[in-house]
């Protein structure tokens, strides 16, 4: 692996664009089958948003789940996926995703560097009784930072370190750090791959309508078997955000700054690719920080969300993408700059949810992102929302908390709602707003990456406008239109599906191009 300006190779079997979970899975698969692989990464770091992630992978019926005694099957997973996604995406893609999951896990675990464990986290929908209260997710076993040696400096740091400059120890790598670290080690052990950072894809090279290579700066690299676009989405591109998401600027994404600017999408379109789902993203509520970054926030154990009218608009315990869609609905009515507030009382020292890093109250107050007051009316004045509405909202919610039933949004009625619930009343997801001061922290609509991109077939091959495959071109991860359509079916769908289609793409390239 190198970050030096030495020339790229003239020719390899496979060029992989990007270095997140999808890219490195595709690279490893091809390299393990004996193909020569070049990974090109735009930034000085390897890992993309995948390195920030929790690395949960939704892959029903796999061996890791079976070893741990989780009662699951591919068939159940498929029923669940079909019930949540519907016919918004092709049935053969949904089948390919779910049916390939166990094979992918078994293949990856053959590498001594890769090992998974169960990651308990509930599914996001009640779907035909097939949801699992503890989910069907897995994640990599933590990895000692020292195992990466000098490569550690090239691994994109955690969000807290990368976007907030915090000193996060790297003795033990967990989540996305372990995922990328393990894939890198496995890739290197094949002896068939080169990873080049600070090497952005410029454009694709075509010969007689087939993609035969890439241009990086003034260099051209031929790809005998094909090119895999796995360069994330366009969530960091202000123009596409405005056009496709109706959001001003690039605000606000949890992706690595400047990294995913839709380069893969542009490259695919330039050779005639069909695209889909450009209006979508993996949405989430995000806490807006004084430095302008917004941090993925989940796992509320207390508090309520209110919109600009001082009223609740959703079950605050909803899975994050479902909450994000509700926020979009409110924004459609009130405009893209709609202020959302997370209101909680003083029973916790910080926000009662998972936000990494945790907000610093003093800094937030100075930036106008955190307000506190003795009464709902005073808080409403500070927030600029109607005082009588906020008072009525708080009183009504406290009544629900005392009675144990959220008559407006049914919070606390399913497994996901109760997973993070911490209240001691009749409904643990309903914590009354009654202790000490009330607080309001600014929430915005964030995302974990965009979700639209090149349309692909079940082999991950990019499709042209007429539905025919474009020779030599494959896409996976957030560079491809997601198999999940308009929903986020379960924890680990982005990475799980991205890695499956990268694996399928690399397998397809291997089968048409035997190594010399």
Ligand X SMILES: Cc1cc2nc3c(=O)[nH]c(=O)nc-3n(C[C@H](O)[C@H](O)[C@H](O)COP(=O)(O)OP(=O)(O)OC[C@H]3O[C@@H](n4cnc5c(N)ncnc54)[C@H](O)[C@@H]3O)c2cc1C
Q: In this chain, which of 162, 188, 263, 417 binds ligand X, going by CB under 6 A?
A: 263
Under the binding rule (CB under 6 A), the answer on residue 478 touching ligand X is yes
Among 60, 213, 376, 477, binds ligand X (CB under 6 A): 477
Residue 108 binds ligand X (CB under 6 A): no
Contact 383, 341 (CB under 8 A): yes
Nearest to 324 by CA among 106, 135, 488: 488
Q: Site for ligand X (CB under 6 A): how many residues?
A: 42
Q: Which residue has the tokens 């996604």?
A: 85
Residue 427 binds ligand X, judged by CB under 6 A = no
Q: Which stretch binds ligand X (CB under 6 A): 21-29, 142-150, 185-193, 391-399?
A: 21-29
Interface residue with ligand X, options 61, 122, 226, 232 (CB under 6 A): 232
Task: Tell the residue number behind the tokens 């497994």, with chain if given.
Answer: 415
Q: Does 62 bind ligand X (CB under 6 A)?
A: no
Min CB(257)–ligand X separation in Å: 10
Residues 368-407 that bind ligand X (CB under 6 A): none
The single-letter DSSP state of residue 453 is: E
Closest by Cα among 354, 97, 35 to 27: 35
Piece of 69-77, 229-237, 321-329, 458-466 that binds ligand X (CB under 6 A): 229-237
Per-residue DSSP letters for 455-516?
Answer: -B-TTSEEEBTTSPEEEEEEE-GGGB--TTTT---STTHHHHHHHHHHHHHHHHHHHHS---
Site for ligand X contains 259 (CB under 6 A): yes
- Residue 356 burial (CB < 10 Å; 0-12/13-18/19+)? middle
CA distance readout (Å), 164 to 242, 297, 315, 421: 26, 16, 30, 28
Name the minimum Å distance from CB 447 to ligand X: 8
- Residue whose CB is less far from ligand X, 406 or 447: 447
Q: Determine if 135 is a binding residue for ligand X (CB under 6 A).
A: no
* Distance of closest approach, residue 402 Cβ to ligand X, in angstroms: 35
For the bound state, the minimum distance from the C-beta of residue 480 to ligand X, rounded and expressed in Å, comes to 8
Which CB atom, from 255 or from 464, has the smaller least distance to ligand X? 255
Spatial distance between the Cα atoms of 333 and 245, rounded to a whole number of angstroms = 15
Could you tell me the CA-to-CA distances from 209 to 219, 250, 476 in Å, in that order? 20, 34, 21
Residue 406: CB minimum distance to ligand X, A: 27
CA distances from 420 to 316, 353, 500 (A): 11, 8, 29
Distance CA 25, CA 187 (A): 9
Q: Kindly tell me which of 19 and 510 has the beta carbon lying closer to ligand X.
A: 19
From 230, 277, 355, 462, residue interacting with ligand X (rule: CB under 6 A) = 230
Q: Which helix (H) or strand (E) holds 85?
A: helix 74-85
Q: Smallest distance, Å, CB 130 to ligand X?
A: 19
Question: Is residue 23 within the footprint of ligand X (CB under 6 A)?
Answer: yes
Least CB distance to ligand X at residue 17 (A): 5
> CA Rg, the chain, in Å?
23
Nearer to ligand X, 76 or 263 (CB): 263
Q: Given the complex with ligand X, which of 232 and 353 has the nearer CB atom?
A: 232
- Minimum distance from CB of 253 to ligand X (Å)? 8
C-beta of 49 vs 287, nearer to ligand X: 49
* Candidate segments 74-82, 86-94, 228-236, 461-469, binder of ligand X by CB under 6 A: 228-236
Closest C-alpha to 214, from 262, 274, 154, 270: 270
- C-beta of 40: minimal distance to ligand X in Å? 5
Interface positions, 36-55, toward ligand X (CB under 6 A)? 40-43, 48-50, 52-55
Cα–Cα distance measured from residue 70 to residue 59, given in angstroms and rounded to the nearest whole number: 12
Distance CA 434, CA 287 (A): 23
Euclidean distance between CA atoms 177 and 50, whole angstroms: 8
Q: How far is the CB of 179 from ligand X (least distance, A)?
A: 9
Instruction: Provide, rounded to whole angstroms, the least separation between the CB of residue 107 and ligand X.
Output: 18
Taking CB under 6 A as the rule, does residue 282 contact ligand X? yes
Q: What is the DSSP string of 92-132?
A: HHHHHHHHHHHHHHHHHHTSTT--EEE-----SS--TT---
Query: How far does Cα 175 stand from its chain's mean position?
Result: 12
Query: Can residue 157 be called a binding residue for ligand X (CB under 6 A)?
Result: no
Stretch touching ligand X by CB under 6 A, among 164-172, 388-396, 481-489, 495-503: 495-503
Residue 254 sits in the site that holds ligand X (CB under 6 A): yes
Compose the 336-365 pattern: x for residues touching ligand X by CB under 6 A, - for all others.
------------------------------
Contact 7, 22 (CB under 8 A): no
- Closest by Cα among 88, 75, 132, 25 to 276: 88
Taking CA 111 as the corner, what is the angle to CA 105 and CA 117, rounded to the nearest 5 degrees? 45
Q: Choose which of 306, 448, 463, 481 interacts with ligand X (CB under 6 A).
A: 448
Q: How many residues does the chain have?
A: 516
Which of residues 26 and 472 has its CB atom nearest to ligand X in the complex? Answer: 26
Contacts with ligand X, residue ranges (CB under 6 A): 17-23, 40-43, 48-50, 52-56, 159, 200-201, 230-232, 254-255, 259-260, 263, 282, 296, 448-449, 477-478, 492-496, 498
């Amino acid at each position: 692996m190198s970050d030096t300006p030495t020339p790229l190779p003239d020719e390899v079997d496979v060029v992989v664009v990007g270095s997140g979970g999808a890219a490195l899975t595709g690279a490893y698969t091809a390299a393990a089958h004996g193909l020569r692989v070049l990974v090109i990464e735009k930034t000085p770091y390897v890992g993309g948003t995948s390195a920030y992630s929790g690395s949960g992978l939704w892959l029903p019926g796999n061996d890791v789940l079976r070893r741990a005694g989780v009662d699951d099957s591919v068939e159940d997973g498929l029923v669940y996926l079909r019930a949540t996604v519907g016919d918004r995406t092709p049935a053969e893609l949904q089948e390919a995703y779910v049916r390939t999951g166990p094979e992918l896990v078994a293949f990856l675990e053959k590498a001594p560097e890769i090992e998974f464990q169960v990651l308990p986290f509930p599914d996001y929908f009640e779907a035909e009784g097939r949801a699992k209260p503890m989910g069907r997710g897995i994640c990599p076993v933590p990895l000692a930072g020292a195992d990466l040696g000098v490569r550690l400096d090239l691994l994109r740091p955690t969000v807290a370190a990368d976007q907030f400059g915090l000193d996060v120890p790297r003795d033990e790598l967990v989540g996305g750090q372990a995922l990328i670290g393990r894939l890198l080690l496995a890739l290197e052990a094949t002896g068939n791959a080169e990873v080049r950072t600070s090497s952005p894809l410029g454009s694709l090279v075509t010969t007689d309508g087939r993609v035969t290579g890439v241009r990086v700066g003034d260099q051209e690299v031929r790809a005998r078997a094909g090119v895999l676009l796995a360069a994330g989405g366009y969530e960091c591109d202000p123009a596409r955000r405005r056009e496709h998401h109706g959001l001003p600027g690039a605000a606000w994404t949890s992706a690595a700054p400047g990294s995913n600017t839709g380069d893969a999408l542009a490259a695919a379109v330039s050779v005639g690719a069909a695209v889909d789902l450009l209006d979508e993203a993996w949405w989430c509520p995000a806490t807006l920080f004084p430095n302008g970054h917004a941090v993925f926030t989940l796992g509320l154990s207390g508090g309520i969300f209110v919109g600009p009218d001082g009223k609740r608009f959703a079950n605050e315990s909803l899975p994050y993408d479902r909450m994000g869609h509700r926020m979009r609905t409110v924004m459609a009515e009130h405009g893209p700059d709609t202020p959302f507030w997370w209101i909680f009382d003083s029973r916790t020292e910080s926000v009662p949810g998972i936000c990494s890093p945790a907000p610093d109250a003093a800094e937030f107050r100075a930036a106008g992102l955190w307000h506190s007051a003795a009464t709902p009316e005073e808080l409403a004045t500070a927030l600029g929302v109607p005082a009588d509405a906020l008072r009525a909202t708080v009183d009504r919610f406290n009544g629900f908390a005392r009675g144990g039933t959220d008559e407006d949004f049914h919070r606390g009625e399913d497994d996901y709602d109760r997973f993070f619930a911490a209240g001691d009343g009749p409904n643990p997801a309903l914590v009354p707003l009654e202790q000490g001061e009330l607080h309001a922290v600014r929430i915005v609509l964030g995302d974990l990456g965009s979700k639209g991109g090149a349309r692909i077939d079940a082999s991950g091959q990019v499709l042209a406008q007429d539905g025919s495959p474009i020779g030599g071109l494959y896409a996976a991860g957030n560079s491809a239109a997601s198999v999940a359509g308009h929903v986020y079916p379960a924890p680990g769908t982005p990475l799980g599906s991205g890695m499956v289609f990268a694996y399928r793409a690399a397998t397809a390239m291997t089968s048409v191009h035997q190594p010399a």
